[in-house]
Structure 1
Amino acid sequence: MAVKYTQPSAEVRAQLRPVYEKDADSLTAVSQVVAINFQTVAAANNYWK
């Protein structure tokens, strides 16, 4: 799901997939960005309590 939010165009994703599908580093980097985003939102939500 995060990849769809990162690149919403299905056509572009299909074109780029051969570039990144065998590169674990790029997929890991996207996952890390998503995890940091969740961590930031969770911290902000707790801040306001």
Structure 2
Amino acid sequence: MAARLVVKATQPDDAARGRLRPEYAENADSLIAVAQVVAVEFATIAAANDYWREA
């Protein structure tokens, strides 16, 4: 879910996302890159949560 929200925020134009989707949907490198972005996003949120718990 987070990945979809990030993509939508990055490219808010539905038509543009629709045109671009075939380029990355069949590309393993692109899909892995998206997974890495989501992993970093979750790690950042987890780190922030731990930071605020310690304060």
TM class by shorter chain equals 0.7 to 0.9
Q: Which has the higher contact order (CA 8 A, sep 6+)?
A: 2
Instruction: Report the structure, 1 or 2, having the larger helix content.
Output: 2
Where does structure 2 lack aligned partners over 5 or more consecutive residues?
A: none
Instruction: Give runs of aligned pairs for residues 6-25 of structure 1, distance below 5 A.
Output: 6=7, 7-25=11-29
The RMSD of aligned alpha carbons is: 1.6
Moved over 6 A (4+): none
Cα offsets for 1:1-49 (capped at 9, x unmatched): 4135323322111101121111011111112111111111111111222
Percent sequence identity is 55
* Number of residue pairs the alignment of both structures matches: 49
Please report the TM-score for the alignment, with normalisation by the length of structure 1: 0.74
Where does structure 1 lack aligned partners over 5 or more consecutive residues?
A: none
